[in-house]
Each structure stands twice: as C-alpha cells, then as structure tokens.
Amino acid sequence: MKNKLLIKTVALAAVTFLGSTLLTSTKINADESMVPLYKYQTTTPILLHGKQVKVPKAPAHEKRQFRSMWVSTVSNIDFPSKPGLSVGEFKKEYLEVLDTFDSLNMNAVTFQVRPMNDAFYKSALNPWSEFLSGKQGKALIENGKEFDPLAWAIEETHKRNMEFHAWFNPYRVAHAFDYKKPTEQVLKEELAKLDDNNFAKKHPEYIIRFDNKLILDPGIPEVQKFVRDSIMEVVTKYDVDAIHFDDYFYPYKTTRDGKPVIFGDKGEDTETFAKYGSSFNGDIKAWRRNNIDSLIHDLAKEIKAKKSYVKFGISPFGIWGHDSVHPGVGSHTPSGSSASYDDIYADTRKWVKESWIDYITPQIYWAFSTTAAPYGELADWWSDVVKGTNCQLYVGHPNYKHNDTYWDNDWHNPEEIPNQLKFNSLYNEIKGSSFFSLRQLKPETLDVSGSTPQEKAEKRAMITQIRDTIKNDYFNTKALVPTMPWLDNKAPNAVVGINTKKASNKVEISWKDSAKNDSAYYVIYRYERDKGPMKDGDLEDPSNILAIVRRTNNKTELNYVDTTAVNGKTYVYAVTAVDRLHNESSPKYANVPMK
C-alpha cells in the first residue's frame, strides 16, 4: 500500500521556513527538559519556522491515546501469511496478530477487509478475496459451511478490548501488471482473473486503466453507489467500531523511462467528464475533487444514519497542498512534492474542516530532515488544521522505511520515529499514532533487507531496538481511546459496588453492573496508599491502570484477580465503567491493606 515513492525529490541544501515559533497549541515549553534535533550523523540543526526543533527528553504518557497498526491483506503483506490457509491456521495467525497488538499496548486494529474490490467477509456485493483463499470468489470452509473471517475477527478483537477499524480500498480492481501492455490485453487478462460476481467484471465499462493499475471510475454515479453500498453492507451486518480509508483515490502520478506520467494526460476519464461534468464549466480537476467529496460526504451521512457510534476515519497522503500554490493555507513544502488536493483530487483538509470524518491519520511518512516533506512542518500543519473541528488527529508513521533504508540516511537512525512520538506530545491536537505496518513491528519474523548476512543482522537488531523502545518507553502503560463528544458525551452509570477478597499476594476485585447500563468495558486502577493521599489526578495517570476488563454477554457480576499485589502494602483500587465510545463513569473505590 505505502511502499512506493510518492514525492519528487527536491534538491535543496537546507530546510528553512518562515515564521518564528511553534504553534501555540504546545503542551511543553522549550526549557531544560527539551533536547535539540540534528540531521542524522551531522551537526546540521533541524529547523521549523526558522527555529531549531526540540523534543522532550522523556516520553510523555497519556491516559487517552489512539494506538494502532495497519494490518494489510492486499498481496498478503501482513496477514494472512499466505492465501489458502485452513480456518484453524487462519485463526491461529490472527490470534498471534492480536498477541502482538497486546504486547505493544495497542487499543485499535486497522484491518484491511476489502483490499481489491473483494472481501474478507461474507458479502452479497463483493467476492471472497483471493488473498484469503487463493482464488477470488472461493470461501474458507469450516464444518461444511462458509467461514466468515470478519465476524470472528471482530469478536476476538473486542475480547482483547481493542477497537476494530474496517479498512476499505474504494476503487482498486487490479495492480502490478506490466504497464507496457496495451489496455485491451490488460483488460482481457486481468478481468479473466476476477470472479464472475466481481462488480468490475460485470461492468468493464466502469474501469479506468492508468499505468499498471485498474480502478473503478470515481466519476460514475453507479460506481459511487456501489462503493457506498459495499461499505454500508459491513456497517449494517458487522459490529465494527470504525470505517477506514487509506490514501488511494484518483491515481498518483508516477515516472516511466525518466518521464512523468500523470493521470488525465491520456484522457482516461474525458468521456466520463463529458457525460457527468457539464456543470463544472470545463474544470475537470474541480469535478474530480467533487466526485471524491461526494463519496466522503454521502458515506459519512449514511454511516451515522445507520449506526451513529461508528466512526469514519481516513489516512490520506501526508501533504494536502503547498503554501506556494495555496497561499496562507498550504504547508511550507516544496511545490515539486506530491499533494493530495492537486495530484489525487482528495480535498482532505475540507473533510476535516467540514467535520465529515471523525478522525484523520495523515501518512507523514518522512523524517524531520526530509527536504521535500519535513515531518515537523507537516505534523505542525495538520495540528493547526484540526483545531476547532469535530475531527481527531492521529499520525501515521512509516516503520517500513527503517527496513527499506534506501529512502534516505535518516532511516538508519533508530531514534527517528521515537523522536516523532516525542514531538507529537508537544501538540494537544495529536491524539495518537498508527504504524505501517504490522510486520515491521515483528522483527523476529520480518524479511529484512540487506545484501550480506551481517547487514541483515544489523538491520534486524535496529528494527528490534525500535520496537522495544516503543514498547518499553512509549507504550509501556495502557491507554484508553480518546472520546469523541460529538458522537456521544454521556458516561455510563458507575458500577453498583466493589468488593475485595485478599489472599497471599492476591486480591480479587468484584463488582456489579446493571444490565441496562451501556458499559462496554471496565478500567481497574490501583494506587499505593503508602505513597500518600490519593489525588484527583491519580486516575488520569495511566501508570495506575492495572487492567482493562471487557464486558461480555451483558454480564452483571464481574471480577478481576490482581496477582501482583505485594504483602506489606496498602492499595486503593478503583473501578470505572466505560462505554464503547470510551466515556468513563465515576469510580468506585476500595482500600485493601496487604498486612
């Protein structure tokens, strides 16, 4: 999905921007707790608005922080390991995926359910995915029946108290074929691979060919309806927490034989524009943007009308537009770099400002010192964009670049992404992070790059170091998903009561809840009374979260056993009820002297 060159290298000697200071939304002031950043293995300072970038010495730990990884199923990038697994093998591998998420204290899974006009779920509209079974249209069979991977995966994900974000690619039909082949031959060969029930095979007239890709034409009303219907089928049938899009709308420009290849130059959608774009006075680019706008706007309305609690999030290309092209609005990035507004006709800033989407996770897939797209500038720009909107900002980080270090030398630096996480903590608007992708945080099984065994061993050691740094220093406490008060701001009722029963080095905490209470899970806090009186802020300290317990089958009597209690200490336990949109009740307390 992401592993491709999306920006044109711009040869500039240094990164210097106008302005005088970071935006005023910072949490931490520049003082002795901050350290300056330099371009990797140099003494060249990294600048933002003419000032050297500084990050906190120590990681920040937030009680509310979105944490996820993308689980790519297209071409079996992350999961499953190969097509055609048995149901038992599929389940085993997905449980291992959840184990990895658990080990990193993640709280949301972003799972690709519709990678290429196909499905990892039982659908009346899209055929079973070839990346699931090995043949498009073929299901996995369990006990003589079609196995529904999505229903099972959602249930298992919720057991771990993680959100399930169903990730869709709206238009992709086929990719990675020989771009030199004539279109007639490409259509014949690629459509032959598709199941007879594939929408694209039924309607080849709706297909656009660009370079080595086939996509559904976003300008055709029937295509827009089909995409919306495909997504609403999942919203209606499955207990998803969010619908997620990535950055693929109209195709990105590319380069062939040293020359730029730009969508539209060969009139790929000229006929569609002539048929449907008459009201745009010849402005085909505005029409294309409107096609994508319409999909996002209409889909957002349909999702909320069906299930108001289901979130809608998008992970776009990290640059919306350039200040030199959009004065006073765009980011201070070189105009030679790609931008979603101008290159793929996705007005992602508008979607935020209009609050059509509930969260945005821009793929800021560059280092602090990347001239064409500096991380600090873009994180700063997006933080400003989301201010005052009903849209949360998470940041997408490119762990894959530490493996594919040919991108630039900065990705040899194991502190690049940790420094990005520290930088994020300076902004109230940045509510979390997502990492591309799952396999890049599993160094033990990752196929690392390198030309020699020693080079591969060094690369694996670096990737392991990065994973362990994130695990042990940044995500070493549990975190709740941030609330979205525009969706729901009413907390559930507090639990009815809390009782404790102690034994040697063990404390059983039990509580009751009403069957009518909309609790989705419970947070158990533990505070050492020996440290002094409990303060109001102690429940906001994530280090005091002992456990999170999922409510299943609407149980009214629940319990948890603390096996880490130490004799001789006195503990204060607290239990809160939390709903599916993460609104938290008032706590109930119990004092337990372990003496």
Segment 483-505, tens digit of pLDDT: 999 999 999 999 998 999 998 88
State the average pLDDT over residues 40-54. 96
Percent composition of the chain: helix, strand, coil (DSSP 3-state, to 5): 30, 25, 45
Per-residue pLDDT for 468 more than 70?
yes
On whether the CB atoms of residues 354 and 257 are closer than 8 A, the answer is no
517: in domain: yes
Torsion angle of C-alpha atoms 326, 331, 337, 339, degrees rounded to 10: -70
Per-residue pLDDT for 529 more than 90?
no
Per-residue pLDDT for 18 more than 70?
no
Task: Report the pLDDT value the prediction gives residue 31, as an integer from 0 to 100.
Answer: 60
Please give the backbone phi and psi of residue 20, each rounded to the nearest 5 degrees, phi first.
-130, -20
- Three-state DSSP class for 593? strand
Mean per-residue pLDDT over the chain, rounded: 94
Q: Which two tokens stand for residue 28?
A: 């931490």
User: Taking the alpha carbons of 348, 350, 353, 359 in that order, is the dihedral positive or negative?
Assistant: negative
CA pair distance 215, 432, nearest whole angstrom? 32
State the average pLDDT over residues 447-463. 93
Residue in this structure with the two tokens 């390198």, named with its chain if needed: 450
Torsion angle of C-alpha atoms 585, 587, 588, 591, degrees rounded to 10: 160
Task: Report the pLDDT value the prediction gives residue 408, as an integer from 0 to 100.
Answer: 85
User: For 92-111, what is each residue's pLDDT tens digit?
Assistant: 999 999 999 999 999 999 99
Task: Report the pLDDT value the prediction gives residue 26, as an integer from 0 to 100.
Answer: 45
Of the pLDDT bands very low, low, confident and very high (cuts 50, 70, 90), residue 276 is very high
Q: How many domains does the chain have?
A: 1
CA pair distance 243, 166, nearest whole angstrom? 5
CA pair distance 216, 170, nearest whole angstrom? 8
Secondary structure letter of residue 26 according to DSSP:
B
- Three-state DSSP class for 114? strand
Per-residue pLDDT for 11 more than 90?
no
Residue in this structure with the two tokens 């992708």, named with its chain if needed: 437
Task: Report the pLDDT value the prediction gives residue 504, as an integer from 0 to 100.
Answer: 82
67: in domain: no
563: in domain: yes
Per-residue pLDDT for 5 more than 60?
no
Task: Report the pLDDT value the prediction gives residue 536, as an integer from 0 to 100.
Answer: 73
CA pair distance 565, 573, nearest whole angstrom? 11
Q: Which two tokens stand for residue 165?
A: 């974000």
Percentage of the chain exceeding pLDDT 70? 95
Per-residue pLDDT for 169 more than 70?
yes
CA pair distance 394, 106, nearest whole angstrom? 14
Task: Report the pLDDT value the prediction gives residue 535, as an integer from 0 to 100.
Answer: 79
**Which helix (DSSP H) or strand (DSSP E) does residue 507 occupy?**
strand 506-512
- Residue 398, preceding peptide bond in cis (omega within 30° of 0): no
Pick the residue with more confidence: 32 or 372?
A: 372
Residue 519 maps to which CATH number?
2.60.40.10
364: in domain: no
194: in domain: no
On whether the CB atoms of residues 356 and 349 are closer than 8 A, the answer is no
45: in domain: no
524: in domain: yes
Residues in the chain: 595
**DSSP letters of 411-467?**
GG-TTHHHHHHHHHTTBTTEEEEEES-GGGG-TTT-----SSHHHHHHHHHHHHHHH
Q: Which two tokens stand for residue 182?
A: 């004539």
CA pair distance 151, 382, nearest whole angstrom? 34
User: For 195-253, what is each residue's pLDDT tens digit?
Assistant: 999 999 999 999 999 999 999 999 999 999 999 999 999 999 999 999 999 999 999 99
Residue in this structure with the two tokens 């009751």, named with its chain if needed: 512
Per-residue pLDDT for 21 more than 50?
no
Beta-bridged to residue 503, according to DSSP, are 506
CA pair distance 39, 503, nearest whole angstrom? 55
Q: Give the structural domain span for 563.
A: 497-593
Query: What are the Cα distances from residue 335, in Å, to 7, 13, 261, 321, 343?
Result: 10, 16, 17, 8, 11
On whether the CB atoms of residues 213 and 4 are closer than 8 A, the answer is no
Per-residue pLDDT for 369 more than 60?
yes
Query: What are the Cα distances from residue 147, in Å, to 87, 90, 120?
Result: 7, 11, 10
User: For 546-555, what is each residue's pLDDT tens digit?
Assistant: 999 999 999 9
Rounded to two decimals, the pTM is: 0.94
Task: Report the pLDDT value the prediction gives residue 76, as an integer from 0 to 100.
Answer: 98
CA pair distance 99, 93, nearest whole angstrom? 10
On whether the CB atoms of residues 159 and 101 are closer than 8 A, the answer is no
- Residue 504, preceding peptide bond in cis (omega within 30° of 0): no
540: in domain: yes
User: For 285-326, what is each residue's pLDDT tens digit?
Assistant: 999 999 999 999 999 999 999 999 999 999 999 999 999 999
CA pair distance 590, 353, nearest whole angstrom? 45
Per-residue pLDDT for 389 more than 60?
yes
